[in-house]
Structure formats: C-alpha cells, structure tokens
Amino acid sequence: MSKKNKNSQKQPAKEFIFKKKNYTFLFIGLALIALGFILMAGGGSEDPNIFNEEIYNFRRIRLAPTLVLIGLGIQIYAILLNPDKKKK
C-alpha cells in the first residue's frame, strides 16, 4: 500500500537557482574580467638587456585591473541577485 502512495505522489519540478537575468550579469562579468586580462598582456621586451617602458603605461597599470575588479563585482552581484523578488 505504501508503494502506491509513493508512486502516486508527484515529485516537485526541479528548478534552476539562477534565472536568465543572473546568467546575463554572469556573462557580462566574465567578459569584463577576460577583457581586463587581455589588456594586461604584453609589454615585455624580446631582449632581456633592453628595458621596455611600455609595461608601465595607463592601460596595464590602471585600466586593466580596474576592469577585472569591476567584473568581479558584477559576478558577486549576479550571484546575489534575486530575480523572483517582487517589487511593491
């Protein structure tokens, strides 16, 4: 008798924790992080005896790390975002 009751009860549908809005922000954050690391790359010298000042330019010192940190902030926001929350 108990086996019939277990089979007759419908299991609740499994839902994803994140919704489309969460994934949108996750991908935006990942894109900013990737862009930051791409902008950080390069600037080295082929010859170790020659110093290249290009490694200390604005793009590598200020812009790229700022983009990475903004991307990480967006990732945290995307994880904490609750799209089901109703506005009153």
Q: What percent of the chain has pLDDT over 70?
A: 88
Helix (H, G, I), strand (E, B), or coil: what is residue 48?
A: coil
Q: How far is the first Cα of the chain from the last one, in angstroms, to the nearest whole number?
A: 47
- Band (pLDDT 50/70/90 cuts) for residue 73 is very high
- Residue 7: the pLDDT is 57
